[in-house]
Amino acid sequence: MRRPQPAVVACLVLLLSICTVHDSRAQQPWPQTAPERTDHVETTRYAEVMAFLEEIAARSPLIRLDTFGYTMEGRALPLAIVSRLDDVSPEAIRSSGRTVVYIQGNIHGGEVEGKESALMLLRDIAQGQHVQWLDSLVLLVAPIYNADGNERIRLTNRRFQHGPIGGMGQRPNAQGFDLNRDHMKLESPEARSVALLLQRFDPHVGVDLHTTNGTRHGYHLTYAPPLHPNTDSTIVRFLRERWLPTVTDRIREKYDWEYYYYGNLFDGGFGTGWYTFDHRARFNNNYFGLRNRFAILSEAYSYATFADRIRATSRFLVEVLDFATANATAIRRIVEAADADNVTGRTLALRAEFERAPEPLDLIMGGVVEERHPYTGHIMLRRTEERRIERVPEFGTFRPTESERVPHAYLVPAERVEVIDLLRAHGVEMSQMPAARNARVERFAIDSTWVAEREFEQHHERTATGRYETVELAIPAGTWVVSTEQPLGRLVFALLEPRSDDGALSWNLLDQAMGDDWRYWPVMRVHERW
């Protein structure tokens, strides 16, 4: 008998070792989150998240690991890409014909349920559950967005929340910024990282996972679509009339739990009622909407037990993704239509106020009991099964209080590098004039301007009043032309209009450059094709 060649022997040994490693790995226990390991006493830390993701990816060909940016303290932001595709590069995903869903947890470091649910969801998929989703979807999962805040564990963070009693992170990032207020000004590396992710992978849907504060209601979880009044109306209708009601019905049928639109019971300026949160695009959910994307906010109920908050978030995610799978083509087509929809010449909102719903809401209120934290002695609140109905006005949408016609383009002077950098960070399309020209333009003459007395997010927000005037000017070469006839036209309008309540002027972007000369807003506009 001929002896096998050394190369053949080497190949057989390699194959045997691979099979042995695979069999050994298959028999190993699956990784657990910190809540699962500690009977929900602790939350998962950054290093544990990374180890969990690496183990899951090593055991499943459906999950590949990437990063999409960094925190201020230099922690890489992990991204799990879940797909059947052989090539999961951004270019391949964008051209795959699949509907892409971005799932984000832990934007606030103390609101940890989304992080835990996202990790558990990835493990479920690695174990063979929900794999039918991947016939239609690609999932991008970022479980620990505010990684710096997650690591600032204190037992007294979110004092009345019911656990985890081993402590949780802080709300802001390492700079002291609330990352859920930074999506327009982009002053944190985390927010810029998300903006880059949106440009690279172009997801059709964003799901942002939070935990509530405030009202002692009877819902295990509340949710919201984009709230900015300039959001594409078809996206909002599809969410409000189909997607979110379907999820609510399925949760009720399966678990006898109630989910509803996010809100708090207080007087928001129009009498006591159920008020949603702010309409402005600085919030993740609203920002996605102004980018023509479906967005869903999830808020687990703070006073449910830690275990139930994770369970509520996990159940919500499954139903959201079941619906996305069944309606993947419709979701994709609605997004494509919104991107193709030209807003030039339309009237859009600059500012808005709460809008009262035509009918009052039968609000489910709940009860809580006080419990002592075993290690600090401070009061925690735990939900009870008490349910009672209060009939109250509902303020879940917004109406414009001030509007403006969308120009064809804005003209940004070349020396206004602060504005150009911000637009570029958002992924806005721009072009630079190769030669000077005379043109009739509109410039905003400022009558008065002032800043807020109270600091917010390390800013004193600026407001200006005035009017547009038409003038003939020599526009120098190098001026940047920012057309609104592009998919991000709604976002461009919100950023560059001087009366916008969430734009470059309001966030003091040009305060230093303007000095005391507040006669004219330096960004001009034109209504004809440039």
- Give DSSP secondary structure letters for 206-257: EEEEEE--S--BS-SEEEE----TTS-HHHHHHIIIIIHHHHHHHHHHHH--
Q: Is the pLDDT of residue 27 over 90?
A: no
- Give DSSP secondary structure letters for 409-465: EEEE-TT-HHHHHHHHHHT---EE-SS-EEEEEEEEEEEEEEE-SS-BTTB--EEEE
Note the pLDDT tens digit of each residue in 64-103: 999 999 999 999 999 999 999 999 999 999 999 999 999 9
CB 312, CB 270: distance < 8 Å: no
Q: How much of the chain exceeds pLDDT 90, in percent?
A: 94
* Mean pLDDT computed over every residue of the chain: 95
Number of other CB atoms surrounding residue 498 within 10 Å:
24
Say what the alpha-carbon torsion angle 504, 493, 351, 104 is, to the nearest 10 degrees: -80
- pLDDT computed for residue 13 by the predictor: 44
CB 174, CB 73: distance < 8 Å: yes
Q: Which of 336, 425, 376 is nearest to 158 (CA)?
A: 376
Q: Which residues pair with 371 in a beta bridge?
A: 380
- pLDDT computed for residue 134 by the predictor: 98
CATH superfamily for domain 69-341: Zn peptidases (3.40.630.10)
Note the pLDDT tens digit of each residue in 141-166: 999 999 999 999 999 999 899 999 99
Which secondary structure element, helix H or strand E, spans residue 281, and what is its range?
Answer: none
Q: Whole-angstrom Cα distance, residue 62 to residue 126?
A: 7
Mean pLDDT, rounded, for 201-230 = 97
- pLDDT computed for residue 26 by the predictor: 57
Note the pLDDT tens digit of each residue in 118-131: 999 999 999 999 99
CB 393, CB 360: distance < 8 Å: yes
CA distances from 58 to 1, 54, 66, 528 (A): 40, 6, 13, 56
Confidence tier at 19 by pLDDT (50, 70, 90): very low
More confident residue, 302 or 13: 302
The domain locations on the chain are 69-341, 405-526
Q: Is the pLDDT of residue 253 over 80?
A: yes
Q: Whole-angstrom Cα distance, residue 321 to residue 333?
A: 17
Query: What one-letter code names the amino acid at 96?
Result: S
